[in-house]
Amino acid sequence: MDLMQVVETTVEGLEFELVALERNGAGLLRIFIDHPDGITVDDCVLVSDQLSRVLLVENFSYERLEVSSPGMDRLLRKPAHFARFAGQQVKLRLRVPREGRKVFVGKLLGSDPTGVQIELEGVPTMFGFDIIDRANLVPEF
């Protein structure tokens, strides 16, 4: 198995959702987890302890492991993420400009297997997953 599969299997086995996995050249392995009831420090400790053991057994090297919640500006990657947060504000950054810009902010209306629909100035607008570089929730205070 590759690193992503090992981490995802471990996190899901503990009944959490793997939101993202980031790895940098300095040996940092950063894992973002979520749960419908939210994430506590104890949840992060539990996942970190379990991942430390599993990664050792599976012979994956890293210098430092960080496990945290995705935060208020949660990254959205999978179609299920977009479906779960329908109705909330989302910020999309595109790979290529559309109508002269790459960043769009609007109300998330939903998703299908090909992309997401957001409301821009009262108009439902579809964006394909193939052109979305990054999508995040927009925190509302």
Note the pTM of the prediction, 2 decimals.
0.79
Answer with the residue of higher pLDDT: 30 or 24.
Answer: 30
> Quick one: average pLDDT of 44-54?
97
Which residues are within 8 A (CB) of 17 and not within 5 positions of it... i.e. 6 or more apart?
11, 33, 34, 35
> Quick one: average pLDDT of 132-139?
95
Q: What pLDDT is attached to residue 141?
A: 80
* Residue 116, pLDDT above cutoff 90: yes
The CATH number of the domain where 46 resides is what? 3.30.300.70
The whole-chain average pLDDT of the chain stands at: 94
> Quick one: average pLDDT of 19-37?
92
In a domain, 42, yes or no: yes
* Residue 25, pLDDT above cutoff 90: no
Domain carrying residue 119: 79-137
Residues 133 and 83 occupy one common structural domain: yes
Residues 84 and 58 occupy one common structural domain: no
The CATH number of the domain where 133 resides is what? 2.30.30.100
Half-sphere exposure of 44 (CA within 13 A, CB side): 14
Helix H or strand E encompassing 20: strand 17-23
Q: What pLDDT is attached to residue 125?
A: 95
**pLDDT single digits (tens) 122-133:** 999 999 999 999
In a domain, 117, yes or no: yes
User: How far apart, in whole angstroms, are the C-alpha atoms of residue 19 and residue 31?
Assistant: 8
Per cent of the chain over pLDDT 90 is 82
**pLDDT single digits (tens) 70-92:** 999 999 988 888 998 999 999 99
**pLDDT single digits (tens) 93-102:** 999 999 999 9
Q: Are strands 17-23 and 101-112 parallel, antiparallel or unpaired?
A: unpaired
